[in-house]
Amino acid sequence: MTASIATPHAPAATRWRQYWVLTKPRVVQLIVFCALIGMLLAEPGWPRLGLVLPATLGIWLVSGAAAAFNCLVEQAIDSKMARTAWRPTAKGELSNRQALVFSALMCGAGSAVLYWFVNPLTMWLTFATFVGYAVIYTVVLKPMTPQNIVIGGASGAMPPVLGWAAMRGDVGPEAVALCLIIFLWTPPHFWALALYRVEDYRRSGLPMLPVTHGSDFTRLNVLLYTLVLFAATLLPFVIGMSGWLYLASAVVLGVWFIAYGWLLWRAYSDALARKTFRFSILHLSLLFAALLLDHYLMPWFQG
pLDDT, tens only, 180-212: 999 999 999 999 999 999 998 898 888 899 999
Contact 84, 133 (CB under 8 A): no
**Mean pLDDT (whole number) for 266-282:** 96
| CA distances to 66, 130, 138, 174, 278 from 104, in Å | 9, 11, 16, 32, 32
**Residues in contact with 266: Cβ distance below 8 Å, sequence separation at least 6, in sequence order:** none
Q: Which one-letter amino acid corresponds to residue 278?
A: R
pLDDT, tens only, 79-129: 888 778 888 888 888 999 999 999 999 999 999 999 999 999 999 999 999
Q: How confident is the model at residue 302 (pLDDT cuts 50, 70, 90)?
A: low
pLDDT, tens only, 20-34: 999 999 889 989 999
What does the domain layout of the chain look like in residue ranges? 1-169, 172-303
Q: Which CATH number fits domain 1-169: 3.30.2450.30, 3.40.50.300, 3.40.50.1100, 1.10.357.140?
A: 1.10.357.140
What's the angle, vertex CA 21, arms to CA 70 and CA 121, rounded to 5?
55
Q: Which one-letter amino acid corresponds to residue 233?
A: T
Q: Is 69 exposed, middle or buried, given 0-12, 13-18 or 19+ CB atoms closer than 10 A?
A: buried
DSSP-derived secondary structure for 245-295: HHHHHHHHHHHHHHHHHHHHHHS--HHHHHHHHHHHHHHHHHHHHHHHHHH
Q: How confident is the model at residue 155 (pLDDT cuts 50, 70, 90)?
A: confident
Distance CA 265, CA 195 (A): 11
pLDDT of residue 12: 60
Query: Over pLDDT 90: what percentage of the chain?
Result: 69
Distance CA 251, CA 245 (A): 10
Whether domain 172-303 has CATH 1.20.120: the reply is yes
pTM above 0.85, yes or no: yes
Distance CA 176, CA 181 (A): 9
